[in-house]
Amino acid sequence: MAEPIDCPVCYEEIVDHPAPPGKKATGSTKTSCGHAFHPGCVATWYVKHSECPYCRTEATEFERPIPPAQADNKKTIANEMTAILNAQANATHIIANDEILFSQLDMQANAVNQTLYNLNYFNNLIPYAYEIIQTAE
């Protein structure tokens, strides 16, 4: 019987199918460097990192042996990864839109300031215009 392996991310035991009596199968995912993790743990890790959580080697691919008993688990993991990637894309889109909005607001503020400057300038010219009109008459 193989030694139990703990997930380097959450430190809980990884139990593959078939699970021994009294234990629940968690499944595992192996990185390109050969380290095993719980699928959810490594998926969460790779949202923010690109290297193996155990040895810090740049991870390029995953090996996901999923027995038939975990077919639903595969869909759940894929859905979770899709949701995480969609959330990242939405956050990036929101940040880009905010930067465009701030840029547009800055341009509008500059235009308002220029208009106020022009109004003030012309208001200061009005008394001189009256003088010129009165002397011309």
Structure tokens that stand for 6 in this block? 């703990």
Q: Give the model confidence (pLDDT) of 68-107 as tens digits.
A: 445 455 666 777 777 777 777 777 777 777 777 777 888 8
CA distance 129 to 135: 10
Angle of helix 71-136 relative to helix 39-48, nearest 10 degrees, comes to 20
1-65: CATH, from 3.30.40.10, 3.30.43.10, 3.40.50.2300, 3.20.20.10? 3.30.40.10
Does the pTM exceed 0.75?
Answer: no
The structural domains of the chain, with segments of one domain joined by +, span 1-65
